[in-house]
Amino acid sequence: MIQLNYKSGVPICDQIVNGFIRMKALRLVESGEQLPSVRQLAMELGVNPNTIQKAYQILESSGIIYTVKGKGSFFSDDEAADTAVIMSAKKDFRAAVKTATELGLRENELIEIVTEICKKGESDK
């Protein structure tokens, strides 16, 4: 489900959080669907359970998932939360584009980088 990249420099916890956000945004999961348990996912990914725990807490406080004590964690159907995440990502990306253009990168160079990375992401699947 989630591919960790240890060499990317991105904290593992963030990668897990982003992974679930992406699955939801791309409709790879349905609202109400249950997430793996903290312990199970920790084993699958070979990661400390504390790291998964932290990721779930971040997801819950963002409204992306909700947790029922004793039952598990589930993707929420809170569209507002999903939208907020996407809007935030877009805002960050807009800022990055603005910075890049200010530093002298041109439209075609930016688009080239976008397609290059998106193609690469495709082939990784």
Partner DNA sequence: GTGGTCTAGACCACA
Positions that interact with DNA (CB under 7 A): 11-14, 35-40, 46-51, 53-54, 56-57, 60, 67-73
Beta strands in the chain (DSSP E): 65-68, 72-75
Binding residue for its own copies, selected from 30, 118, 123, 125, defined by CB under 8 A: 118
Binding positions for its own copies, 51-70, rule CB under 8 A: 61, 66-70
Gap between the Cα atoms of 44 and 38, Å rounded: 10
Would you tell me how many other CB atoms lie within 10 Å of the CB of residue 75? Answer: 20
83 binds its own copies (CB under 8 A): no
Would you tell me how many other CB atoms lie within 10 Å of the CB of residue 13? Answer: 19
User: Rounded to a whole number, what is the largest CA-CA distance in the chain?
Assistant: 54
DSSP 8-state code for residue 103? T
43 binds its own copies (CB under 8 A): no
Q: List contacts with its own copies (CB under 8 A).
A: 6-9, 11-12, 15, 18-19, 21-26, 61, 66-71, 74, 76, 85-86, 88-90, 92-94, 96-107, 109-111, 113-115, 117-118, 121
